[in-house]
Amino acid sequence: MSKPLILILCTGNSCRSHLAEAIFRRAVGDLADVASAGSKPAGYVHPMALEVLKEIGLDASAHRSKHLSEFLEMPVATVITVCGNADQVCPVFPGQVNRYHWGFSDPAHATGTPDEIRAEFRRVRDQIRLVFEAYAAGLKEASVR
């Protein structure tokens, strides 16, 4: 039996969804396949997102910005939106059982010095980490019942 696919959506698929994808993939382990996509992909993964992931031991350098249409024919078990725009335009996927919206502010819009911008990326990364690691822990607990 194949693992369920959990898809994380954001508008640009350049920052928050990649933070969540990398963090959740590590946290959930072999229980699920994890991917991210966007409704209007930016075409790149934000370099600062890659940097702050590396700080916590995650290498997302192979990630790419993808359109959600790449997943429309796939059996997606769970869709998680991490920004309001993606939540509003989120389609229903074949086989979709669950849908969650956990909104996070977009660190790509941060202004200030490079250190202040990096601090905002870290803040959002840490918020995403708390939510997605807790969700993964719940899935792991449910799988042993």
Sign of the alpha-carbon dihedral angle for 108, 109, 110, 114: positive
In terms of Cβ atoms closer than 10 Å to its own Cβ (0-12, 13-18, 19+), residue 98 is exposed
If you average pLDDT over residues 44-48, what whole number do you get? Answer: 96
All domains in the chain, ordered by first residue: 5-143 (3.40.50.2300)
Q: What count of other Cβ atoms lies within 10 Å of the Cβ of residue 34?
A: 24
Digit-coded pLDDT (tens) for 50-92: 999 999 999 999 999 999 999 988 889 999 999 876 556 666 6
* Helices 16-28 and 47-55, packing angle to 10 deg: 30
Q: Give pTM, 2 decimals.
A: 0.92
pLDDT > 70? residue 142: yes
Question: Which one of 63-72, 119-128, 136-145 scores highest in mean pLDDT?
Answer: 119-128
Active-site residue numbers? 10, 83, 90
Confidence bin at 124 (pLDDT 50/70/90): very high
